Amino acid sequence: MLKVILGHSDDPDTQYAIAEVLEKCIRDLSDVVGMPAKAGILFAAIDFEHELILQEIYQVFPGIELIGCTTDGEISSILGFQQDSLTLMLFCSDTVELHAGVGYGVKENPLAAANQAVQYATEKCQTDPRLCIPLPASYLADGSTTNGGLILEGLKLALGSQIPILGGAAGDQFRFQTTYQFFQNKVLTDSLPILIFSGDILFSFGTGCGWQPIGRRSIVTKSQGTVLYEIDGVSALEFYQRYLGDRLPTAENPLAVYEGDSDRYYMRVPNTFDLQTGSINFLGDVPEQAIVQMTDFNRDEILHSVQTSLQTALKRYPGKEPDAILLFSCCCRRWLLGTKAKEEYQIIKTELAQEIPICGFYTYGEFAPLESQGSTYYHQETFVTLLLGTK
């Protein structure tokens, strides 16, 4: 059995906000007999006093397996979409194991950090891991960024490529300065907190983006890490100018990067560019010899992809009814949707036939497989739905 408890507050005062969240959680937990809160996921706006929040949580739930991060916006079935709020999801179960782990120094050595996090969590597991939720750092105080692709590679190496990995990178409300991660009662930077599910857990997931490929497919002929130099033998900027004219690349026109010869693709968002070399630095690795295609969007298609993500997850769910839903949506989607961003949650709520606890956040990069039994990819501008349950 899995019971999920949820609290959410948009009070700007840290003390009042966490008090409101904990009061709601304690009240709802009184109905759960014999199953204390085992684990939790905390999403918080950047301007809260995060040390105080964790201190208050640990006073009420000492030793809880807690992870979390700062965000670019929070989502819950209590308050819907918010931008300056605090939400906490607690998990109670007598059949599901939940164990948190953390890795440090994720920027300099993401593979070692991922291995450290997985080892920390799995050494407490009595059964084999079945699902991993990572919430890694993205931006650091020195202005540098972590590499989501290498973080994912490290998790795959440590867990095995068959374990689904679904989550998102921490945000800081579109400031791109410093993101914070939470592990147990600690506020961290440059870290990788994860939550491992094992035992009697049922889950499914779906993804959607809404950007439509345009033009012909091309081949990356020169790249190094996140820097793309040439596509089809011409500079990356020249490739973009064929479609955009004098406009410079932005998040409105990411690249679709195809999974081998299939029609499945993940997104890569242009970040900065070099006019002298014609290269473009993307928010994620773009492998050499990868098949790519320019994309275009409209807001209706972006919103429709939310429905696609949810319906895919519902069709794949192996049980009768999920007990909880986690949502991970890209900050670029929120930025491009503007005042329509709140409609992403409203679509989820409208599509559901029953009341289910929902929690999520706007990320600086998403982790999810492209198909139910496939390998996990690092995404941008994607909406990820994760269903959890035991029945």
Residue ranges per structural domain of the chain: 2-207+302-389, 212-296
Tell me the C-alpha distance between 49 and 329, whole Å: 24
Structure tokens at 283: 């928010």
Q: Report, in angstroms and rounded to the nearest whole number, the Rg of the chain calculated over CA atoms.
A: 20
Q: Are 101 and 193 in contact (CB under 8 A)?
A: yes
CA angle 365, 368, 369 (to 5 degrees): 140
Spatial separation of the C-alpha atoms in residues 42 and 61, rounded to whole Å: 13
Taking a C-beta distance cutoff of 8 angstroms, is the pair 169, 363 a contact?
yes
Q: What is the dihedral of CA 78, 81, 86, 90, to 10 degrees?
A: 50
Instruction: Over range 323-338, report the average pLDDT.
Output: 97
3-state helix, strand, coil in the chain (%, to 5): 25, 40, 35
Of the candidates 202, 183, 182, the one whose C-alpha atom is nearest the C-alpha of residue 131 is 202
Question: 179 with 171: CB under 8 angstroms?
Answer: yes
Pick the closest to residue 180 from 14, 326, 19, 47 (CA basis). 47
Question: Does residue 390 surpass a pLDDT of 90?
Answer: yes
pTM: 0.97
Q: What is the pLDDT of residue 124?
A: 92
Q: What angle do CA 35, 99, 43 make, to 5 degrees?
A: 85
Average pLDDT over residues 196-218: 97
pLDDT of 275 over the 90 cut: yes
Q: Which of 300, 301, 304, 297 is closest to 350 using CA atoms? A: 304
Q: Which of 2, 121, 20, 15 is nearest to 76 (CA)?
A: 20
Using CA atoms, how far apart are residues 299 and 133, in angstroms rounded to an integer? 28
Instruction: Tell how strand 181-183 and strand 86-93 pair up.
Output: unpaired
Q: What is the pLDDT of residue 31?
A: 83
- The reported pLDDT for the residue numbered 353 is 87
The Cα 6–Cα 22 span in angstroms is 9
Between the alpha carbon of residue 339 and those of residues 83, 298, 330, 334, 335, the distances in Å are 12, 14, 15, 8, 9
Distance, CA of 68 to CA of 356 (rounded, Å): 21
pLDDT digits (tens, 9 = 90+) for 7-56: 999 999 999 999 999 999 999 998 877 789 999 999 999 999 999 999 99
Q: What is the mean pLDDT of residues 188-198?
A: 98
Cα dihedral: 78, 83, 86, 91 (round 10): 60
State residue 35's pLDDT score: 86
Q: Which of 387, 364, 200 is nearest to 312 (CA)?
A: 387
Two structure tokens written together for 21: 């969240």
Fold of 212-296: Thrombin, subunit H (2.40.10)
Pairing of strands 291-296, 234-235: unpaired
Query: What token pair was written down for 75?
Result: 């989502």
**Cβ count near 289 (within 10 Å):** 9
Nearest to 154 by CA among 190, 197, 115: 115
pLDDT above 90 as % of the chain? 95
CA–CA separation, 280 and 287 (whole Å): 13
Residues 54-112 have pLDDT tens digits of 999 999 999 999 999 999 999 999 999 999 999 999 999 999 999 999 999 999 999 99
